[in-house]
Structure 1
Amino acid sequence: MPIPLCGFIRRRNSSVNDQDEEKKKEKEKSIEQKLKKDKKLHALTHKIPVIGSGESGKSTLIKQMQILYINGFTKEERKEKVLPIRKNIRDGILSICCAMSKIDPPVSLGDPSLQPSYDYITTVVAHLDESSDYPEIFYQHAEKLWKDEGVQMCFKRANEYQLIDSAGYFLDKCSTVAQVDYLPDDQDILRCRVLTSGIFETIFNVGKVRFHMYDVGGQKYERRKWIQVRSNSHNLRFLPKEGDNRQASDAVTRSVSLFQVLHDVTAVIFVVACSSYDSTMRESAGENRLKESIELFGEMWDNRFLSNTSIILFLNKQDLFEDKILHGTTKLETYFPAFDKYKVSATAMKEANEPEMLCRAKCFVRDQFMAISNRNADNTRRCYPHYTTAVDTNNIKRVFADCQNMLQRVYMAKMNML
């Protein structure tokens, strides 16, 4: 008698369906767990573009993050900075020598016997291949000229021409940098000036919080890309986080649209060189650097893509600013007449615990930016000012620690958790 198969087939189909249902549930559970994990990870992640005019100290700030939170620089990375640092010496002494005859009134060499060194720098060095190292004789001429009284006089008038801030620092170390086995230390790397072109991303962890910090090129021709928020592609660099087995020199790159960088950011760090109040733009002669930074800040504050985003204001280069205000020959009121009648409260003076002139100057510059942020401030965004010296690791560590609590509060406010 044949065995009926219909019941068997029905039970088998039922078993298969049960297995499919179990797999489906397991998959849904896995997806749900991943979503929860991603949501938790997102809550512990801050995206922070670092924006500002050229030479304001943005890249230096990013380097400090690597020193503080990404185990510093590898030996290979230090070697890679040797040629750029030597180029800083070349650019520095060349800029000073070329400016001596152009500033008004002009400056002559204190020691006429150094004319051959001057001629070598202004003729031969000006045409040396920038991609290769410089001959030993270059450093000898540069060191002699740097000690000259006339060259020093021209250096003190650096606001009258274009000169990188680190020129004096590296010219003081000329003989050290010239050595064959020279390896830059942290301070050398922090002060090394290299033009930033494009957008570079640095990823690091502070405790359980992950930071994505974007170094955005600040020269005017670079800013056209990000002020208008076009979706052109830019290279981004990933540096290893704590515990990552990759070396920092093994950084990988990928292309991403600028819109992605500005999308869903926790806050923006805006960096301004306060010491630039008496200087003009490198790419736009005659335009005051600090005034241009104030204008740029206004553009960013009013940018529709950042309408709900708070800005952390880094009033940078306080070391150079203090030296100019207290000991320099240029007065802030010459470039900003309103400073002449600017007053600060007795309470602010007492809390500052510094010379009255310096306190007034710092508060005046800060208030130029705060006046913009106060125009249309609301509960969803604020401007948080900090006085910084980007080449000072301890200063940046302290300031960034203050910023972390603020960033968490900003994020929680965005999520309506406060």
Structure 2
Amino acid sequence: MGTAASAKKRPPSPEAMKRNTQIEKELALSRVMETKTIKLLLLGGPESGKSTIAKQMKILHLNGFSEYDLLHYRHLIHSNIITAFRQLISAIECLKIDATENQKMMISNFVQISDRSKNCEISQELVFLAKALLPTSCFLEALQRRSEFELLDSAKYFFDDLDRITELSYVPTSQDILRSRAVTLGIHEVEFNYKNYIFRFYDA
């Protein structure tokens, strides 16, 4: 009974050996990097401060924000202001706070214009109405009773600096950005190096 001769195993080519060595080096480096990587998952309810922590890490360890980031936060802050005004307007109605006919007319105009605004852009017309409404008796009373309804926690901060924030040349400061609020959709990652370690913050 005959036996089949087994084929001799060919030695790997120099190219294959080089590629294998490179892969092993990359795997070893990856294992080392993994031991030096600290992952932190930030969890919490709305306005619990987790996104603020991620932004603080970016300011402290990643040289702040790019021009693109600043433009994004400019729009977001203007959107926050419109949202806060709409919350106050709803509160005036729900809490049955007295408003003069002139105040009611300005409120109606603000609602109509903000409804038409694209991407919550704050037009100069809205800025004019916002500045006119803030010192009115109905808005001041609503602000005094803000514990009775939902109001953006940064509303007073933005209202106190409304002139600066609504300038055409406005560029958000780090403090403005930390005060801004947005609904977290998906998972956002901030990564930076600190004392030979890689920190990864996940904002979910």
Report TM bin, short chain. 0.7 to 0.9
Shift of the alpha carbon at 1:24? Answer: 7.0
The Cα of 1:28 is off from its aligned counterpart by: 5.7
Partner of 1:54: 46
The aligned counterpart of 2:61 is: 69
Name the structure 2 match of 1:196. 184
Matched, 1:118 2:107: yes
Give the distance between the partners of 1:107 and 1:130, measured in 2 at CA.
30
In structure 1, distance between residues paired with 2:166 and 2:27 = 55
Contact 1:49 1:215 (8 Å CA) reproduced: yes
Give CA-to-partner distance per residue, 1:208-253, whole Å, 9 cap, x none. Answer: 111221111xxxxxxxxxxxxxxxxxxxxxxxxxxxxxxxxxxxxx
Q: Is 2:130 the partner of 1:142?
A: yes
CA distance in 2, matches of 1:161, 1:125: 24
Match of 1:232 in 2: none
Task: Report the CA distance between 1:80 and its aligned residue.
Answer: 2.1
Q: Does the alignment pair 1:207 with 2:195? A: yes
Query: Structure 1 counterpart of 2:116, which letter?
Result: L
Deviation for aligned residue 1:113:
4.5
CA distance in 2, matches of 1:161, 1:39: 52
- SS in structure 2 opposite 1:131? helix
The one-letter code of the counterpart of 2:157 is: Y
The SS at the match of 2:47 is: coil
Contact conserved, 2:114 with 2:126, CA < 8 A, in 1? no
Q: Which has the higher contact order (CA 8 A, sep 6+)?
A: 2
Aligned ranges for residues 17-416 of structure 1 at < 5 Å? 17=11, 20=12, 30-103=22-95, 106-109=96-99, 113-122=102-111, 124-131=112-119, 133-216=121-204
Q: Which amino acid aligns with 1:51?
A: L
Using the TM superposition, give the Cα deviation of residue 41 of structure 1 relative to its aligned residue in structure 2, in angstroms.
Answer: 0.7
1:95, distance to aligned residue in structure 2 (A): 0.9
Structure 1 residues 34 and 83: alpha-carbon distance in aligned structure 2, compared to 1, 3 A threshold: closer
Deviation at 1:130, TM superposition (A): 3.9
- Give the AA of the match of 1:177: I
SS at match of 2:48: coil
Q: Provide the secondary structure at the position in 1 that maps to 2:119.
A: coil
Contact 2:54/2:201 (8 A) holds in 1: yes
**Which ranges in structure 2 are unaligned for 5 or more consecutive residues?**
1-7
Change (3 A) 1:21 1:179: closer
Identity %: 27
Query: Aligned equivalents of 1:21 and 1:177: distance in 2?
Result: 66
Whole-angstrom distance in 2 between the partners of 1:77 and 1:100: 34
Contact 2:114 2:120 in 1 (8 A): no
Do the aligned partners of residues 27 and 134 (structure 1) sit closer, same or farther apart at CA in structure 2, a change above 3 Å counting?
closer
Instruction: Describe the shift of the 1:65–1:41 C-alpha distance in structure 2 as closer, same or farther (beyond 3 A).
Output: same
In the alignment, the residues of structure 2 paired with residue 29 and residue 190 of structure 1 have an alpha-carbon distance, to the nearest angstrom, of: 47
User: Taking structure 1 as the reference length, what is the TM-score of the superposition?
Assistant: 0.43
**Equivalenced residues, count:** 196
Q: Distance in 1 between matches of 2:87 and 2:120?
A: 19
1:52 Cα deviation from its structure 2 partner: 0.8
Matched residue type, 2:108: D
The answer (yes or no) to whether the contact 2:192–2:200 under 8 Å persists in 1 is: yes
Partners of 2:201 and 2:84 in 1: CA distance: 30
* Conservation of the 8 A alpha-carbon contact between 2:92 and 2:142: yes
Contact 2:79 2:120 in 1 (8 A): no
The SS at the match of 1:81 is helix
Could you tell which deviates more after superposition, 195-204 or 144-153?
144-153
5+ long unaligned stretches in structure 1:
1-12, 217-418
The aligned amino acid for 2:199 is F
Specify the code of the residue in structure 1 equivalent to 2:58: Q
| C-alpha deviation, 1:74, in angstroms | 1.7
Structure 2: distance between partners of 1:63 and 1:71: 11
Q: Would you say the 8 A contact 1:90–1:125 is kept in 2?
A: no
1:351 maps to which residue? none
How far off is 1:132 after superposition?
5.5
What's the TM-score, normalizing by structure 2? 0.83
In structure 2, do the counterparts of structure 1 residues 152 and 34 end up closer, same or farther at CA, with 3 Å as the change threshold?
same
